[in-house]
Amino acid sequence: MNTTEFIVKYAQNISPKNLCGIYAIECRTHSKIYIGQSSSIYRRWQEHKRQLRKGIHSNSHLQNSWLKYGEHLFNFYILEACNRDILNSKEEYYISLIDKLNCFNLGPVGPTYTRSVETRVRLSKSLTGRRLTDEHKRKLSETHRKSGLHVGKKLTDAHKKKIGAKMKGRKFSLEHKMKLSIANKKRLSYA
């Protein structure tokens, strides 16, 4: 099935806010399409746009098309709203309908896989005590800078003092501390 037929047949006009389901990103110049899934389609689309604009999207084909043709030639569609338990099978289904030459999808369907306990233990043992050379550290640092992980300006001492003064004496409620703790644990578990 070509991309135009696919979009006409399956795209739905539904508000994406807080919607769980399957979506598509289409490049209109060559009718290639990316199929994805999310428990919050609007949030995921915002993530895609942010990564594509920064040039750090994990899908190199989608990123290169975005850079080559520009944001204005991309459309975002919701294909189907569905429950979380069937997201993987629905994503597989929609990807199977598209000719592989017209598809941006590169890897396996679904959210990033989790390594088994045995694999994690083996990796941990192999990396324990590992020393990085200065050259390796320099290359890692350059890569992180290019990827946007360390984007931003260096703060002046005056600015740091101003922030410190504003934060000094600030008290957080127990409830707020718990929310911060949970958010940090989630953030660190994805890293």
pLDDT value at 122 more than 50:
yes
**pLDDT score of 191 more than 60:** no
Q: Quote the distance between the C-alpha of residue 111 and its chain's center.
A: 10
pLDDT at residue 98, rounded to an integer: 85
Residue 75 lies in a domain: yes
The verdict on residue 69 lying in a domain is yes
**Residue 173 forms part of a structural domain:** no
- Residue 36 domain flag: yes
Give the pLDDT confidence score for residue 12 in this predicted structure.
Answer: 61
- Interatomic CA distance for residues 43 and 121, integer angstroms: 33
Q: Which comes out higher in pLDDT, residue 7 or 79?
A: 79
Backbone angles phi, psi at 27, to 5 degrees: -95, 115
> What does 72-109 look like in DSSP terms, one character per residue?
GGEEEEEEEE--GGGHHHHHHHHHHHS-GGGB---S-S
- Residues 93-119 pLDDT 10s: 888 888 888 888 877 666 555 667 888
Q: 10 Å Cβ neighbour count for 108? A: 10
- pLDDT per residue as tens digits for the range 36-59: 999 888 889 999 999 999 888 888
DSSP state of 58: S
CATH of the domain at 69: 3.40.1440.10
Residue 45 lies in a domain: yes
Q: Domain count of the chain? A: 1
The tens digit of pLDDT for each residue in 53-85 reads 988 888 888 999 999 999 999 999 888 888 888
Our CA dihedral for 119, 124, 125, 126, rounded to 10 degrees, sits at 90
What DSSP state is assigned to residue 12?
Answer: B
Give the range of the structural domain holding residue 47, as residue numbers without chain letter: 3-102
Residue 105: beta bridge partners?
Answer: none
3-state secondary structure of 37: strand
pLDDT digits (tens, 9 = 90+) for 133-185: 899 888 887 777 666 554 556 778 898 888 888 888 888 888 888 888 888 77
CB atoms within 10 A of CB 38: 21
User: Which pLDDT belongs to residue 62?
Assistant: 92
Q: Does a structural domain hold residue 130?
A: no
67 falls within a domain: yes
Is 61 among the domain residues? yes
